[in-house]
Chain A
Amino acid sequence: MIDINVNKKLHGTQSEMLLDVKLNINHGDFIALSGKSGSGKTTLLRILAGLEKSKGIIHLENNIWQDHHSFKSVQKREIGFVFQDYALFDNMSVLKNLLYVNQDKKLAQHLLDITELSELKHRNTTTLSGGQKQRVALCRALMKKPKLLLLDEPLSALDPTMRIKLQNEILALHQEFNTTTIMVSHDPSEIYRLATRVIVLENGKIINDGSPKDVLLRTQGSQKFSFEGELLEIKKVDVIFTAIIAIGQQLVEIAISENEAKDLKIGSFVSVSTKAFSVNIKKLS
């Protein structure tokens, strides 16, 4: 059980912001931390790690990591941290990156086996691909057998195939090491696949907290599909109007009525939804 009640003034890009987070996390939970950039996600992870000071308390089981009188240094907290940019020690080989944390060669070999890095263990880290680097970073974070594993958008720089592969490895390692994990992520499918609980931050406050299904499925009433997108263009084709909408990486064309066309403004954000009937599903792979 991790008890968190911290606050810290942040100097954001636009104005000052108060990060104020009260949170109880059960042992073994896999938490996805989501929210817009600048909402305080990374700062929260850094506060938990002890890399940044804040006011308030952090208790892990019966250990006090910080309270009003004491502050446990980053070196002494039982955490693993994976940075978005890997932050590997470039002067060391893959294996030495792991052994730098502790000299447990058996554990290092085991981690390298799970993540299929054994063959590369004597390679210099600068010669690795992004996916390989992130695996080394993950292994290195686990060398401490952390009670709390913090992952700051670990997969955002990787291609989709590599993402899914690494998601599975993260989940397997989370279970094997019986750790509690907090991962910053924006990818709904990633969150759904990995997390047991989703916490959404906005302007330093928790605005949503629940199971991935409750938080991610943004449908109301009888809607079954609902996407948010940006309206790019409204075209008049003969008697009907079509709207071009960007949803994620994809552009879609939707037929709308004249009245709808009058109401909508180009550049505004719209929701596109339909009910579960008459939807086509086609197998892709």
Chain B
Amino acid sequence: MIEILQNLNFTPFLLSFKLAGLTTLILFILCLPLAWYLSQTNSKAKPVIEAITALPIVLPPSVLGFYILYALSYNSPIGIFFKESFGVDLVFNFTSLVIASCLYSLPFMVQPLQSGFESLNKNMLEASYISGKGKFETILKVALPNIKPALLTAIIITFAHTVGEFGVVLMVGGSIPGETKVASVAIYEMVEIMDYTTAHIYSAIMIIVSFFTLLSVYIFNHKQKFTGFIK
């Protein structure tokens, strides 16, 4: 048993965590202003933006993967632009995985943040404006500290969801060891070549890690006051 564990290749897990960490960081920075905007606006564009950001929840990953693959490849203007301007290929490498994951996990970051912001007492935000503070300072010093559970939920769920993705990654990244072969893809391959021992160990690790991440979120949010979760 110990020998099997010692010989086990953990690169897919490292790759999964690296991908999830990077995706979470990028999405957090991008989604904060978006979620804030959605929580404060009465614009007619709001439902449209909300519907677009929620699309990845309902679309089959293969559909999303197919379009991302098409958009990033040399067949589309985006792919051509990156290839000719920077000499970067956007498919079948780690960069393409990050782009695809950001799209795929977008709703899992936006929605908890948005409902967190929406749960805030509007008068509290206005009290900050009356105190002479601008929007940026209000978000940083009043809004964010008062939605800690929503922040934690957004970050953890986005991270966990990215670790757990499979279809999109497979379509956009393929299965290049050390580059795009993340844990979920590795498990799929192990089953395919009927290496059930490795598949069992990989899967067990995934279940345990996921369970304890979720457990920590729920324990934290139970202690804090409940303020926001996926709608």
Contacts and interface: CB of A to CB of B under 8 A. Distances in A.
Interface of A: 49, 51, 74-76, 79-81, 83, 85, 87-91, 100-102, 137, 140-141, 143-144
Given A90-B146, A91-B142, A91-B146, A83 B127 contact: yes
8 contacts: A51-B126, A76-B132, A83-B123, A87-B121, A87-B123, A88-B124, A91-B146, A100-B131
A101 B126 contact: no
Contacts of B127: 81, 83, 87-89, 137, 140
Nearest to A78: B132
Contacts of B133: 75, 100
Contact of A89 (B124, B129, B130, B134): B124
B141 interface: yes
Interface in B96-152: 121, 123-124, 126-134, 141-142, 145-146
Across chains A and B, which 10 residue pairs bring their CB atoms closest together, nearest first? Answer: A87-B123, A91-B145, A101-B131, A83-B123, A87-B127, A87-B124, A74-B129, A81-B130, A75-B132, A91-B146
Interface residue SS majority, chain B: helix
Interface of B: 121, 123-124, 126-134, 141-142, 145-146
B126 A144 contact: no
Contacts, number: 55
Given A85-B123, A87-B124, A74 B130 contact: yes
B185 to A, nearest CB: 42
A83 B125 CA distance: 12
Interface residue SS majority, chain A: loop
A140 B145 contact: no
Contacts of A49: 130
A193 B210 CA distance: 63
A80 B121 contact: no
A101 B124 contact: no
A87 B130 CA distance: 12
Contacts of B123: 83, 85, 87
Contacts of A141: 130
A144 B142 contact: no
Nearest to A86: B123
B142 A79 contact: no
A140 B128 CA distance: 10
A102 B133 CA distance: 10
Contacts of B130: 49, 51, 74-75, 79-81, 141, 144
A151 to B, nearest CB: 13
Nearest to B127: A87
B142 to A, nearest CB: 5
Nearest to B146: A91
Nearest to B141: A100
Contacts of B145: 91
A160 B184 CA distance: 65
B148 to A, nearest CB: 8
